[in-house]
Amino acid sequence: MSLPASPATGDTRAVWTGVAGTGEPADRAARTTQPRAVIGVSLKMYFGYQRTLDYCREVAAVALAHPAVQSGEIELFVLPALPALPEAARVLGVSGVGAGAQDIFWEDEGAYTGEVSGRTVAELGGRYAEVGHAERRRIFGEDDRTIGLKTAAAYRNGLTPVLCVGELQPGSVEEAVRHCTADIDAALNRARSLGPAARTIVAYEPQWAIGAPEPATPEYISAVIMGLDTHVRCLPGQAESRVIYGGSAGPGLIGRLDDAVAGLFLGRFAHDPQALKTILDETAVRLGLLVMAGGRP
């Protein structure tokens, strides 16, 4: 199968090699039970309702035409603003893309004015719930206890938590691993004390890199995530969990990272659907599913 060139990168030819060495075309192979890469997008509060749905329609079109997403080799999800979640989940769902919430409350019901429960998110079609983002920690004062309770609420309601962790200031790899594993343990230990654990997507986002012009260096990202991946997968119930990178991530990054980095958690650099397509193509190249002739995807 040939793909048209990305408008941003000039004239190239893309050749799909099949899925997982089966020799079958990627868009006809059965979906895999465990994705080999994870790409997530948070829209934060940048888009209004109609723009969110327009974006989701464009992403759905990209995903439908992308063999690695259709086969399940790449797990793709989008976290819109909550009012758009039901329609976004419907639009994205037909293309195999998941949707979720950027936050949930820790209780499933009660007198909690203005909050939204994981139960409601699941009813609205959500499959993911972001917890512990640096902005929630900084602006709303969320601590380890709160994040652990929200992680438990995600598990309890069948949502995959996207657990965000990251050090405040640049430092050594060892310091970053210590800081992030402490945050992971605090959240997951609290969650396990309240019920069964399940698969978690850990988003490593060094707080000093969020919103910065450039991400952390590929060498630094890879080294930290190698440490986090080893730690997380040894925890009870987390054998299938994955660690992805966020923090000014965008096109051109995934191919420069170690294989321990399962994917990317994207913000503004993926708010253009064509940029997201480029990242999906780069991820497919990294997995050996797509061979480029004449240049990068």
C-alpha gyration radius of the chain: 18
CA atoms of 55 and 35, how far apart (whole Å): 24
Q: How far is CA 297 from CA 73, 243, 276, 294, in A?
A: 18, 24, 11, 9
Q: How far does Cα 105 stand from its chain's mean position?
A: 20
Q: How close are the terminal C-alpha atoms of the chain, in Å?
A: 14
Q: Catalogue the active-site residues.
A: 133, 205
Distance between CA 186 and CA 131 in Å, rounded?
Answer: 13
Token representation of residue 232: 């997380």
Tokens of 274: 């064509």
Number of H helices, E strands in the chain: 9, 11
What is the Cα–Cα distance from 78 to 53, expressed in whole angstroms? 11
Closest alpha carbon to 126 in 149, 144, 104, 95: 104
Whole-number Å distance between alpha carbons of 231 and 44: 29
- CA dihedral (21, 23, 25, 27) positive or negative: negative
